[in-house]
């Protein structure tokens, strides 16, 4: 497994965009006002920020773990007694995901995205010369 991203909640994404860009992260998905994703300057990790109406309510941080063989990994974990909220499902953002929670209730997403993880068709700057 490879830690891909953490998705953080925010009420207003514009200040979050400015803050994370100031830290040196590169904006790679701009779906303002509801969602943005950044690429870290070192390594392959990304950080997402998703709009929520009220902090502490609604979306909470989600840890994403990329699996080269998602279906095989989920199948093995199910056999080991791990319960999933959702089994592997193809998503419109071109990822295949399965959702579960850790014993403390923290949300986890096991997924496979291939090149779409960091280079989706809607990546900022694509086709601009």
Res 59: pLDDT: 63
CB 99 within 8 A of CB 109: yes
Q: Is pLDDT at 129 greater than 60 in this prediction?
A: no
pLDDT over 70 at 128, yes or no: no
pLDDT tens digits for range 45-74: 898 989 888 777 666 788 888 889 999 999
3-state SS, residue 80: coil
Q: Are 115 and 121 in contact (CB under 8 A)?
A: no
Q: Considering only residues 9 and 30, tell me which one the structure prediction assigns the higher pLDDT.
A: 30
List beta partners, residue 51. Answer: 10
pLDDT, residue 6, reads: 86
In this predicted structure, the answer to whether residue 104 has a pLDDT above a threshold of 70 is: no
Selecting from 1.10.3210.10, 3.30.70.1060, 3.10.180.10, 2.40.30.10, what CATH number does the domain 2-117 have?
A: 3.10.180.10
Neighbours of 24 (CB within 10 A): 10
């Amino acid at each position: 497994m490879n830690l891909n991203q953490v998705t953080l909640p925010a009420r207003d994404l514009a200040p979050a965009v400015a803050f994370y860009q100031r830290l040196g992260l590169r904006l790679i998905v701009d779906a303002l006002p509801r969602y943005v994703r950044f690429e870290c300057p070192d390594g392959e990790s990304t950080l997402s920020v998703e709009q929520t109406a009220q902090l502490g309510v609604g979306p909470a941080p989600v840890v994403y773990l990329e699996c080269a063989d998602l279906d095989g990994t989920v199948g093995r974990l199910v056999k080991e007694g791990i319960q999933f909220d959702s089994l592997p499902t193809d998503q419109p953002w071109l990822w295949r995901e399965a959702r579960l929670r850790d014993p403390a209730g923290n949300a986890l997403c096991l997924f496979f995205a291939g090149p779409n993880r960091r280079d989706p068709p809607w990546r900022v700057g694509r086709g601009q010369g």
